[in-house]
Amino acid sequence: MPSMKLSPGLAVAALALMTALPAAAQFRNAEAAIKYRQSVMTVKGNHLARVFAMTNGQVPFDAKVAAENIEVVSMLSGNAQFAAFAVDGSDKGNTRAKAEVWTEKDKFSAAITKSQEDVAKLVAAGKTGNLDQIKAAAGAVGASCKACHDAYQKPQ
């Protein structure tokens, strides 16, 4: 059987469809929402780490590989991940999310927006293939991720 590769366009369309549905319709229960957002964070973090490894000189820079990883980060940074926080009961259970996610909704939403804006700039930098531009944009993404995690994630 031939392998099937999901095109970025199809993946983005699927993600857009998911974000159009009410948050509760996307997950069978709060535990599923928690697992989803944790899984997205893990995968997104792994792809971002690949970009950081190149920008930090730990592995040779490859513009094509960087752009591919940046695209995955971009797809996973959409609103579907954050809709998983809107599911009733997803503030309880096996989650490292702090109560401030729900008590400071406007601030949390602003942190999400900042992160998404920084990821959009990283996508633009990735399309240039220029290491210095990617490095600067990746640094901004790392800073916005860290700020959000510092404010809204319990330490391990």
What CATH number has the domain bearing residue 86?
A: 1.20.120.10
pLDDT in tens, 68-93: 999 999 999 987 778 899 999 999 99
Annotate 91-131 with three-state secondary structure: CCCCCCECCHHHHCHHHHHHHHHHHHHHHHHHHHHHHHCCH
Share of the chain above pLDDT 70, in %: 84
Is 154 exposed, middle or buried (CB count within 10 Å of its CB: 0-12, 13-18, 19+)? exposed
Residue 23 counted as domain residue: no
Residue 51 counted as domain residue: yes
pLDDT in tens, 108-146: 999 999 999 999 999 999 999 999 999 999 999 999 999
Residue 11 counted as domain residue: no
What's the whole-number mean pLDDT along residues 49-76? 97
Domain count, the chain: 1
Token look-up 């942190």 returns: 111
Ramachandran category for residue 130: left, alpha or beta (phi over 0 → left; psi -120 to 50 → alpha): beta
What's the whole-number mean pLDDT along residues 28-54? 95
What's the whole-number mean pLDDT along residues 2-9? 49
Residue 140 counted as domain residue: yes
Residue 17 counted as domain residue: no
Model confidence at 39: pLDDT above 80: yes
User: Where is 90: in which H helix or E strand?
Assistant: none
Model confidence at 53: pLDDT above 90: yes
Give me the amino acid identity at 65: V
Average pLDDT of the chain, as a whole number: 87
Identify the domain containing residue 130 by its residue range. Answer: 28-152
Q: Which residue has the higher pLDDT, 148 or 18?
A: 148
Residue 67 counted as domain residue: yes
CB 43 within 8 A of CB 81: no
Model confidence at 8: pLDDT above 60: no
Which pLDDT value is given to residue 69? 98
Residues in CB range of 111: below 8 A, 6 or more apart:
144, 147, 148, 151, 152
Which pLDDT value is given to residue 83? 87
* Cα four-point dihedral sign 72, 141, 50, 128: positive
Residue 2 counted as domain residue: no
Cα–Cα dist 88/121, whole Å: 33
Q: At what angle do helices 63-76 and 105-128 cross, to 10 degrees?
A: 160
